[in-house]
């Protein structure tokens, strides 16, 4: 009986320590290396995309190398189709904490900079179940947050 209580207490202690552990972010030392991401990409048929927020082109030096010209981004920014066509984008920049918004758009503040912020650093752009399962397992093993983007929406419009 005494041993059971120790084992149970140890399990609860283990759970409580790990329940508060945050997901791995690009600024963490254990974030996967470039080679790790390339290996994942090869294992899922090249479906991995390193993201570049579209509005990056509207900032000096295009810090993330967005291939979309600023004028195209500014024109399409308020349309659902523009964001739906970009795997890394969200329909409402509020849900990305306004981290990279074109000047003169809602959420932009004078002197703002463009950062990845709440946008994903990498996206798996695939509809193949095997590739999605492989990528999700890979991310789960490395404690990386998984966000699913689909064509529907939930109550808050995300």
Judge whether 151 lies within some domain. Answer: no
Give residue for tokens 């291939």. 67
Tell me how many domains the chain contains.
Answer: 1
Question: What's CA 109's distance to the chain center, in Å?
Answer: 23
Give residue 157's pLDDT.
56
Taking CA atoms, 52 is separated from 43, 57, 58, 152, in Å, by 22, 9, 12, 23
Judge whether 4 lies within some domain. Answer: no
Judge whether 133 lies within some domain. Answer: yes
- Write out pLDDT tens, residues 22-77: 888 888 999 999 999 999 999 999 999 999 999 999 999 999 999 999 999 999 99
Question: What distance separates the 2 farthest-apart alpha carbons in the chain?
Answer: 72
Q: Which residues contact 117 (CB under 8 A, 6 or more apart)?
A: 96, 97, 99, 100
Confidence grade of residue 8 (pLDDT, cut at 50, 70, 90): very low
- Write out pLDDT tens, residues 77-108: 988 888 888 888 877 777 777 888 999 888 88
Judge whether 70 lies within some domain. Answer: yes
Domain hosting residue 42, numbered range: 24-141
- Write out pLDDT tens, residues 111-132: 888 888 778 889 998 889 999 9
Judge whether 17 lies within some domain. Answer: no
């Amino acid at each position: 009986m005494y041993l059971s209580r120790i084992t149970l207490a140890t399990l609860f202690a283990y759970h409580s320590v790990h329940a508060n552990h945050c997901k791995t972010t690009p600024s963490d030392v254990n974030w996967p290396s470039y080679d790790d991401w390339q290996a994942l990409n090869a294992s899922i048929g090249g479906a991995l995309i390193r993201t570049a927020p579209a509005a990056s082109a509207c900032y000096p030096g295009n810090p993330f190398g967005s291939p979309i010209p600023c004028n195209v981004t500014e024109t399409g920014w308020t349309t659902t189709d523009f964001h739906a066509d970009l795997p890394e984008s969200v329909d409402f920049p509020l849900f990305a904490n306004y981290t990279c918004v074109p000047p003169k758009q809602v959420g932009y503040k004078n002197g703002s900079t463009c950062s990845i912020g709440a946008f994903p650093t990498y996206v798996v752009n695939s509809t193949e179940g095997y590739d999605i399962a492989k990528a999700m397992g890979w991310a789960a093993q490395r404690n990386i947050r998984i966000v699913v983007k689909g064509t529907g929406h939930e109550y808050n419009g995300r």
